[in-house]
Amino acid sequence: MSEEQKPWTFVEPEGRFSFRVPQGWAIDPSGQRGARIIVFAPDVDENFRANVNIVLQSLSPLTRDEYLTASRLQIRKMNNLATLPVDEPAPHFPGWHVLEWTTREAPSPIRVRQLIAFAGSEVFVVTAMATAASFDHYESVFRVLLDSFQVVGCPDPNAP
């Protein structure tokens, strides 16, 4: 990551979560598409602006395992996939999970990496996406954003 992309820490206005954001990326707290926050790349590729969005959902009435199973099934069905290319525990966060897939949307497929972060009775779904052709270009930025995501007041993701 270049010096001009050196990240800074963003704390959500309500103080619920924080993450690292590279310089030049725009933060949209408007709530569009049901997201608490959307972080947009400074440039557009193939009429698509790479972004990371954070959605907060209630875990109830599901267990964590049921939520993950339902998420997998929904993603596979929507994208006509037999399996997800990445479906693994989050490397730095016990109890959290990472999924990755590529959509078949026209005109350009979109590659998606998603962190599912459990915090008590809530689930933070942190989704990074870019065109399949440009995802590798953004991958280091996406890793910084996803790996730095923290739920404020809940440092242990397994805590109730």
pTM of the model: 0.89
Q: What is the mean pLDDT of the chain?
A: 89
Residue 106 confidence class, pLDDT cut points 50, 70, 90: low
Is residue 46 within 8 A of residue 133, CB to CB? The reply is yes
pLDDT number for residue 1: 46
Q: What distance lies between CA 137 and its chain's CA centroid? A: 17
Whether pLDDT at 79 is above 60: yes
Predicted confidence (pLDDT) per residue in 23-74, tens digit: 999 999 998 889 999 999 999 888 899 999 999 999 999 999 999 999 999 9
> Which tokens hold the place of 24?
């030049």
Q: Which domains does the chain have, with CATH numbers?
A: 3-151 (3.40.1000.10)
